[in-house]
Structure 1
Amino acid sequence: MQFGVFTVGDVTTDPVTGHTVSEAERIKAMVTVAKKAEEIGLDVFATGEHHNPPFVPSSPTTMLGFIAAQTSKIILSTSTTLITTNDPVKIAEDYAMLQHLADGRVDLMMGRGNTGPVYPWFGKDIRDGIALAVENYALLRRLWREDVVSWEGRFRTPLEGFTSTPRPLDGVPPFVWHGSIRSPEIAEQAAYYGDGFFHNNIFWPAEHTAKLIDLYRRRFEHYGHGAADQAIVGLGGQIFMRKNSQDAIREYRPYFDHSPIYGGGPSMEDTMAETPLIVGSPQEIIERTLTFREKFGDYQRQLFIADHAGLPLKTVLEQMDILGEEVVPVLRKEFAALKPAHVPDAPTHESLKTAAQRAKDLETL
């Protein structure tokens, strides 16, 4: 089971102090959070991709490359990479380059994003969102797996004898998660290729999330990648902790109420009841997170968002210390004890490289 944090990189005024960090301060704070994640023993740091205020992470590979130079163990990922509005040729090259710089500590999550206007900003039509996701990813896979590609599709100019450079590290492309919170077509896409499916279920009740994950699992088995319970599933969530729940709720409430994600919606109590948002003591975080397995089956990756809505960096780092010292060690132990032996771990560069070598060896027999 992999545990990590992800960031949406919002620049939000602190509703308690009235202070707003600069874009430079926010970007550097995200780097600090990534380095802290490795320090406390987390497995993954992921950054979103946004091209509109109040968000700053418009260039994930730039940020992750900078972080790669200052870390040595943590997996660097995205949440998400916009497969619809980025050119798949550029994705292929950028993330292969990042693979080399990070010694393989790279995977990425494909998604369509949550900002409708991003489509015309990059010359696309939002009505083509699903079709773009399907076509662009099919091309991306070929670019990573074939040395020379000739291709023609609907949404970009044709390729003739094109080689994407650099080639993936060790001949093994980064593992891909397909992120979606509402689209069965994306669950189907993940299942078809045997990739991971990530449901960032911060907005949705468990019943909705369970339906999409169940669809992905059934179709994963249908396409012959393994049994349904062997499918590769990731979940998102959000936490805020203090020693006792009353203090956590009191401290977090103004941030929730002014959040660019939650603000203006249902109350914090209603949101906690209906979604994975957990505000409380470390023990409450542990108990609630363990229920995700009961609702969605054994899964491989759990990411938490901890640094948004104007929370001061000092508070964020305090949250991460609690996560690393009191929460994740218990969750690791509990999830490991519950996981059946036939359920795989989340793929890594090393495991994918080993599998590729094994397949190659079998071909020569």
Structure 2
Amino acid sequence: MEFGTLSIGDVTRDPVSGELVSEHERIHALTRIAVHAEEAGFDVFAMGEHHNPPYISSADSTLLAYIAARTSRITLSTGTTLITTNDPVKIAEDFATLQHLSDGRVDLMLGRGNTPMVYPWFGYDYVDSLGLTVEHYDLLRRLWREEDLDWSGRYRAPLRQFTSVPRPLGGIPPFVWHGSISSPEIAEQAARYGDGFFVNNNFAPMEHYARSVALYRERFAAHGHGRPEDGIVGAGGGIWVRPRSQDAIDEYRPYFRAHPIHARSGLTLEEEVAQTGLTVGSPAQVIEKVLTFPQHFGPLRRVLFGFDFGGIPEAKIHDVIDLVGSDVLPVLRRELASGE
């Protein structure tokens, strides 16, 4: 079981102080957060890709390479890389390079993206998102596994005798997770290839995501990769933690309202905590909530915590990293190991 932190890289005005940090400061803050997460015992640092305000996370492989030079143990991941609007050749090249720079400490999560306006910026149409996902991922897999490749498809210029360089480290491509909110086609794609399947587990009831996981597990077994329970599943979970529960709730509420996605959900903080993977409270409450995840999703390989958004000051984020590292992660590892 791996535990990590997931950032979406938003630049949001602090609703309490009114401060808005610069893009320069936010980018460097993400590096400091990743380094601290490794020091505190987290296993993964994941960075989402966006190309529209209020986000600055448009070049995830570049940022992760910078972090790789300042860390030694933590796995560097994406959450997600847009398989639809990115050229599979560039993904293959960028992440094989990152693999070499980090000595193999890299994987990536692929997703369609949930911002239709981005597609035309890269020459695509959102109505083709599923077709792009399937075709681009098939090409990406082949680029990492084949040399002198001949390929043609619907959405990209043909390749003739093409070899992507550098080749994957040791001939083994980075591990791939497929991130999904609801599309059964993505669960099927992940299951077909025996890849990982990651559910956001925020912004909707856990039962919603559980249905996608159940489909993935069923298809994982049908494709001959093992038993349903052998499927490689990860889940997200937003958290905000303070030693006292009420302090966490009072502090987090204005940031919840300022969050670029929570603010559009129409749910109150209490409703989201009750229905979704979000936990706001004490370390014991976070532990209790995460220990329920396997009841919804079965055995998990990875849990990513999101708490770096909505204009929350960096100093408070570092406080949460320390508290989770000292009071949450050791208990979760012990309890989940004892239940295996």
TM-score (norm 1): 0.92
State the alpha-carbon separation in 1 of the partners of residues 286 and 79 from structure 2: 22
Question: Identity rate of aligned residues, in percent?
Answer: 60
**Structure 1, 212-221 or 254-263: larger mean CA deviation:** 254-263
2:297 corresponding residue in structure 1: 296
Please name the residue that 1:355 is paired with: none
CA shift at 1:207, angstroms? Answer: 1.2
Match of 2:147 in 1: 147
Alignment-mate amino acid for residue 166 of structure 1: P
Residue 309 of structure 2 corresponds to 308
Tell me, in whole angstroms, the C-alpha distance in 2 between the residues paired with 1:12 and 1:310. 5
Task: Indicate the residue corresponding to 2:49 in structure 1.
Answer: 49
Instruction: Give the whole-Å Cα distance in 2 for the aligned partners of 1:144 and 1:193.
Output: 14
Query: CA–CA distance in 2 between the matches of 1:44 and 1:331?
Result: 15
- Structure 2 CA distance, aligned partners of 1:42 and 1:258? 26
Secondary structure class of the residue paired with 2:176: strand
Match of 1:269 in 2: 270
The 5 Å alignment of 1:326-365 reads 326-339=327-340
Alignment partner, residue 219 of structure 1:
219
* SS in structure 2 at match of 1:197: strand
Q: What residue in structure 2 maps to residue 363 of structure 1?
A: none
Counterparts of 2:125 and 2:249, CA distance in 1: 41
Correspondence for 2:170: 170
Deviation at 1:244, TM superposition (A): 1.3
| C-alpha distance in structure 2 between counterparts of 1:155 and 1:338, whole Å | 46
2: distance between equivalents of 1:192 and 1:204? 26
Partner in structure 2 of residue 68 of structure 1:
68
2:326 is matched with 325
Matches within 5 A, 1:164-243: 164-243=164-243
Q: CA deviation at 1:296?
A: 1.1
Mapped to 1, the partners of 2:29 and 2:115 lie a distance apart of: 24
Give, in angstroms, the shift of residue 206 of structure 1.
1.4
State the 1:337 CA deviation: 1.1
Q: CA deviation at 1:115?
A: 1.0
Cα contact 2:77–2:109 (8 A) shared by 1 = yes
**Which residue in the other structure is 1:352 paired with?**
none
User: Take 1:274 and 1:306, find their aligned partners in 2: how far apart are those partners?
Assistant: 18
Secondary structure of residue in 2 paired with 1:272: helix
In the TM superposition, residue 306 of structure 1 has moved relative to its aligned partner by 1.3
- Unaligned runs of 5+ residues in structure 2 are none
1:31 match: 31
String of CA shifts for 1:32-81, please: whole Å, max 9, x gaps. Answer: 11101110111100000000000001001110000000111000000000
Alpha-carbon offset, residue 147 of structure 1: 1.7
Following the alignment from structure 2 to structure 1, what is the Cα–Cα distance between the partners of residues 318 and 113?
A: 27
**Secondary structure of the equivalent of 2:109?**
strand
Q: 1:277 deviation in Å? A: 0.7
What is the SS of the residue equivalent to 2:247?
helix
Distance, in Å, in 1 between the alignment partners of 2:204 and 2:145 is 35
The letter for the 1-side match of 2:298 is G
Q: Secondary structure at the match of 2:12?
A: coil
Inter-partner Cα distance in structure 2 for 1:12 and 1:286: 28
Name 1:361's counterpart in structure 2: none
**How does 1:100-119 map onto structure 2 within 5 Å?**
100-119=100-119
Residue 248 of structure 1: aligned partner = 248
Q: Distance in 1 between matches of 2:114 and 2:23?
A: 21
- Secondary structure at 2:157's aligned position in 1? coil
Please tell me the residue identity of whatever aligns with 1:20: L
Give the 4+ runs in structure 1 shifted more than 4 A. Answer: none
- For structure 1, the residue ranges without an aligned partner over 5 or more in a row are 340-365
Q: How much is the aligned-residue C-alpha RMSD, in angstroms?
A: 0.6
AA partner of residue 300 (structure 2): Y
CA distance in 2, matches of 1:32, 1:117: 31
CA distance in 1, matches of 2:197, 2:145: 21
Distance in 1 (alpha carbons) for counterparts of 2:188 and 2:277:
24
Task: Output the amino acid matched with 2:274.
Answer: A
2:126 maps to 126
* 1:2-41 → structure 2 map (5 Å cutoff): 2-41=2-41
- Following superposition, the deviation at residue 263 of structure 1 comes to 1.3
Shift of residue 186, structure 1, vs aligned partner: 0.2
Q: CA deviation at 1:203?
A: 1.2
Number of residue equivalences:
339
Q: Which amino acid aligns with 2:276?
A: T
Tell whether the 8 Å contact from 2:97 to 2:166 is kept in structure 1 after alignment: yes
Check whether the contact 2:147–2:161 (CA below 8 A) recurs between aligned residues.
Answer: no
Residue 259 of structure 2 aligns to a residue whose secondary structure is coil
Alpha-carbon distance in 2 for matches of 1:174, 1:152: 24
List per-residue Cα deviations over 1:80-99 (Å, max 9, x = no partner).
00000000000000000000
CA contact (8 A) 2:44 2:77 kept: yes
1:98 corresponds to which residue?
98
* TM-score, normalisation: structure 2: 0.99
Contact 2:194 2:225 in 1 (8 A): yes
